[in-house]
A and B are shown apart, each in its own frame.
Chain A
């Protein structure tokens, strides 16, 4: 059974940093493309970043230069390093496993990041 478990969210001051983790089981992270998708309170879904099986990474313009996606194959875990956080980064962050044709087959339960002073 595929399972994705996010952790690392919390309350952080503007300008601070957080690292989110997504522990995967039931499949191999490095063999799939993995994304982070966020959802601000009461709002819709926004794609944040993707890492492909080959290692290529892409970012939404809103986080480019501030966020870094990575994975640890030995731990079968996906990460999102978030620096220079802003109030508008406040959201539930989901990790999601992508099918090769792009849809998201599996989602974690999400971790809430709140950026506030």
Chain B
């Protein structure tokens, strides 16, 4: 199974500042035939299901604010929130769908400093 490891486990950022969350996969999740990374990011607020933010490592889901961006390829990926808003407080998960079983990172809890 592919292991997804996020860092840090928790993060406190001031309003308006940048937040960066990292995700590393135990093997490459880049499909060479399509040049696509099978990596998604989700946001989960308390008592709610996860919400898709980013897919193919860098494509923003429709309706997601443009302060959210994803980058990376192969085994190393990053989710960046360019200017933290109060409503961004949540737990963020990376997810690989390159191979079955698909697997999630352990989550990163983002709070306001």
Determine whether the beta carbon of A102 is less than 8 Å from that of B98: yes
CB proximity of B60 to chain A, nearest CB, Å:
12
Q: Which of B49, B56, B95 contacts A94 (CB 8 A)?
A: B49
Determine whether the beta carbon of A46 is less than 8 Å from that of B55: no
| A47 CB within 8 Å of chain B | yes
Q: Which of B97, B100, B101 contacts A103 (CB 8 A)?
A: B97
Determine whether the beta carbon of A50 is less than 8 Å from that of B100: yes
| B20 CB within 8 Å of chain A | no
| B75 CB within 8 Å of chain A | no
Determine whether the beta carbon of B50 is less than 8 Å from that of A102: no
A interface: dominant SS: strand
| B107 CB within 8 Å of chain A | yes
Measured in the bound complex, the distance between the Cα atoms of B94 and A102 in whole Å is 13
CB proximity of B5 to chain A, nearest CB, Å:
12
| B38 CB within 8 Å of chain A | yes
Q: When each residue 84-113 of chain B gets 1 if its CB lies under 8 Å from chain A and 0 otherwise, what string results?
A: 000000000101011011111111000000
Determine whether the beta carbon of A46 is less than 8 Å from that of B104: yes
Question: With contacts defined as CB atoms under 8 Å apart, how many contacts are there between chain A and chain B in the complex?
Answer: 56
The tally of residues in A whose CB lies under 8 Å from a CB in B reads 20
Determine whether the beta carbon of A45 is less than 8 Å from that of B36: no
Determine whether the beta carbon of B93 is less than 8 Å from that of A104: no
Measured in the bound complex, the distance between the Cα atoms of B40 and A110 in whole Å is 20
Measured in the bound complex, the distance between the Cα atoms of B105 and A46 in whole Å is 9
| B3 CB within 8 Å of chain A | no
Q: Can you list 10 contacts pairing A with B, beta carbon distance less than 8 Å?
A: A44-B105, A47-B101, A60-B101, A94-B50, A101-B36, A101-B38, A101-B97, A103-B40, A104-B52, A110-B49
Apart from A45-B104, A104-B52, A104-B95, what are 20 other A-B pairs with CB-CB below 8 Å? A44-B105, A44-B107, A45-B50, A45-B93, A45-B95, A46-B104, A47-B104, A94-B50, A98-B97, A99-B55, A101-B36, A101-B38, A101-B55, A101-B97, A102-B38, A103-B52, A103-B95, A105-B61, A107-B51, A109-B49
CB-based closest 5 A-B pairs: A102-B97, A107-B49, A103-B40, A45-B104, A103-B55
